[in-house]
Structure 1
Amino acid sequence: MAVDTSARTPTFTYVDGDWFSGNPPLIGPASHAMWLGSTVFDGARWFDGIAPDLDLHCERVNRSAVNMGLKPVVEAKEIERLAWEGIGKFDGRTAIYIKPMYWAEHGQMGSVVAADPDSTRFALCLFEAPMHTAKPSSLTVSPFRRPSPETAMTEAKTGSLYPNSGRMIIEARSRGFDNALVRDMNGNVVETASSNVFMVKDGVVYTPAANRTFLAGITRARIIGLLRHAGFDVREATLSVEDFMNADEIFQTGNYSKVVPVTRLDDAQFQEGPVTRKALDLYMDWAKSSHGTDG
């Protein structure tokens, strides 16, 4: 296989039984994934010798494959083992993003639009990506919405959903903000363009109730559990933009940066508050005490 080594950061990819450095060409112009978007992926993190919830991310990519009509051809435990094998190829000085993925090579006979599950391929890509945990972020309410399950593949972590997120971020940045606060088709806040979102009011922690229009993430669930165990009142609820504008604190959670404080929402200013700091401390304490430094 000819290998394109133009990856932006040190990168290793496992595919068809071998590891390749750089950015190997995997999808051709006739591939179903190229022109009809049949891709799913997941993302885990390695940093400081640990990979929190790696097993759950490996399990979720296989569920996404099934929901997309693909065939998960690698067991979750094997994906996890391969991830640790790949981690060993790096120098250990920079955090790593761990990205298992599936895609279809062909469409079904008689209906090329539908992916042929028997043509499913698998790859595991790892690349260096520094953490931006606790770096303050600004949000603006996006004019764009999250689709409902009747209109998009919202129950899979599929690449086809992300152009919508991309335009949300581009539009937000054009107005001087880092990210966007996003609503569903009913006008309720569900997440940001790239992460889950929480708010704090009078000591109570709120996060949008999972309503199948957004990815209720693994890190989101972990933060909810840790805060509740620490004695916080955490409620999943239907929330409006006005609720967030009147909050005492806002923070984002996600695999990529874990916990990120929000210091601005449109014209409203916020401080990084004690609950946000506690959420990050609880997460890091849990991660470092619950996970070893190898697979």
Structure 2
Amino acid sequence: MYIWQNGMLVKKEEAAISPFDHGFLYGAGLFETFRVYGGHCFLLDDHLERLNAGLELLEIGKKVKRNEAEGAVRSLLGANGYTDAYIRFNVSAGIGEIGLRSEPYDSPEVLIFSKPLPRAGSLQEKRGKILSISRNTPEGDERLKSHHYLNNLLAWREIRHFPGVEGIFLTQEGNVAEGIVSNVFWAKHGILYTPSVQTGILNGITRQFVIELAEKSGIEVRQGFYSLDDLLNADEVFFTNSIQEIVACPGIGDANFEGMNGQLAGFLHGRYAEGRSSFYSKSEIRTEDDV
């Protein structure tokens, strides 16, 4: 298998980075994961917008454009023989001296990884479990999709004996936050709810896409601070991320929901599927009047 490293295809066994890379030493790096459907990089513009904003904030001297990213992914998938794939697009700060750095980084390390995926299918289910470990607060004003992943790793180990389950973080104040690898939505009386980014969650690209889908379909969406009881009293619950798309949740602990029979999850999954092979951004979603 090949990876893409700084403009070159490299066999995974031969790929290497410097031990002085500040992405390794201090977590100064960002990544995006997105899905390729039949060769199309779904929502690539939205992923790159978030990536580039984070790179600017961290003062990492790199701005990734669509044609560069798409060309690199196409080259990588061609070398590996994939048409439907998981992509991790990683930008690390690059080499620096030992010690924290105040100057911008001017020689970042760009790595792209891929894994084959089956063709996308119907709506799937996954139960939820409330984690005992709290969601930590972001290092800055908002959470970046950075190399700093220890909170998620510890949470993942908490559910390792519960296959097919998504762990759900609460904040230290007890508000619903997000899943280990997902954002959380629920519906009550036809209204869609999801935690605000002000709770410290990652503003997932699929989260943003689903909110836009819902609003342009005439569904009311409310974002805010919600208690665990708000979540457990829902009619339906679902998770979102860029690889698993929309995943219905049939239950959390003793609370049961509509799962794959949920009307909103099923409707939104159907509309989601309409854009898989062509959309670069949520801005391409049409309203009901346009459909």
Structure 2 CA distance, aligned partners of 1:231 and 1:153? Answer: 31
Residue number in structure 1 paired with 2:85: 96
Whether the 8 Å contact between 1:200 and 1:247 is mirrored in structure 2 is yes
2:114 to 126, 130, 141: 126
Whether the 8 Å contact between 2:186 and 2:238 is mirrored in structure 1 is yes
Residue number in structure 1 paired with 2:177: 190
Matches within 5 A, 1:169-248: 169-174=156-161, 178-211=165-198, 213-248=200-235
How far the C-alpha of 1:32 sits from its partner, in A, is 2.5
Any gaps of 5 or more consecutive residues in structure 1? 1-10
Aligned partner letter, 1:22: K
How far the C-alpha of 1:152 sits from its partner, in A, is 5.8
Structure 1 CA distance, aligned partners of 2:115 and 2:152? Answer: 22
How far the C-alpha of 1:47 sits from its partner, in A, is 1.9
How far the C-alpha of 1:259 sits from its partner, in A, is 0.5
- TM-score (structure 2 length as normaliser): 0.84
SS in 1 for 2:174: coil
Residue number in structure 2 paired with 1:22: 12
1:282 to 271, 280, 288: 271
Whether the 8 Å contact between 1:138 and 1:177 is mirrored in structure 2 is yes
Any gaps of 5 or more consecutive residues in structure 2? 281-291
Q: Which shifted more, 73-82 or 218-227?
A: 73-82
Give yes or no for the alignment of 1:261 onto 2:248.
Answer: yes
1:70 to 60, 64, 67: 60
Structure 1 CA distance, aligned partners of 2:28 and 2:14? Answer: 19
1:55 to 42, 45, 49: 45
How far the C-alpha of 1:23 sits from its partner, in A, is 4.6
SS in 1 for 2:266: helix
Give yes or no for the alignment of 1:105 onto 2:100.
Answer: no
- TM-score (structure 1 length as normaliser): 0.83
Aligned partner letter, 1:156: L
**How many residues are matched?**
276
Aligned partner letter, 1:143: S
Whether the 8 Å contact between 1:41 and 1:99 is mirrored in structure 2 is yes
How far the C-alpha of 1:243 sits from its partner, in A, is 0.7
Aligned partner letter, 1:202: H
- Cα 1:105–1:231 shift into 2, 3 Å: closer
Aligned partner letter, 2:131: S
SS in 2 for 1:27: coil
How far the C-alpha of 1:158 sits from its partner, in A, is 0.4
How far the C-alpha of 1:133 sits from its partner, in A, is 6.4
How far the C-alpha of 1:159 sits from its partner, in A, is 1.6
SS in 1 for 2:40: coil
How far the C-alpha of 1:198 sits from its partner, in A, is 0.3
How far the C-alpha of 1:177 sits from its partner, in A, is 6.4
Structure 2 CA distance, aligned partners of 1:265 and 1:173? Answer: 16
Structure 2 CA distance, aligned partners of 1:275 and 1:203? Answer: 8
Whether the 8 Å contact between 2:214 and 2:268 is mirrored in structure 1 is yes
SS in 2 for 1:124: strand
- Cα 1:124–1:141 shift into 2, 3 Å: same
- Cα 1:184–1:114 shift into 2, 3 Å: farther
Structure 1 CA distance, aligned partners of 2:107 and 2:214? Answer: 43
SS in 1 for 2:133: strand
Whether the 8 Å contact between 1:197 and 1:208 is mirrored in structure 2 is yes
Q: Deviations over 1:10-69 (max 9, x none)?
A: x43222331123354322333333232222111111123432201221232222222233
How far the C-alpha of 1:228 sits from its partner, in A, is 1.6
Give the % identical residues: 25
1:271 to 239, 258, 267: 258
Structure 1 CA distance, aligned partners of 2:3 and 2:77? Answer: 11
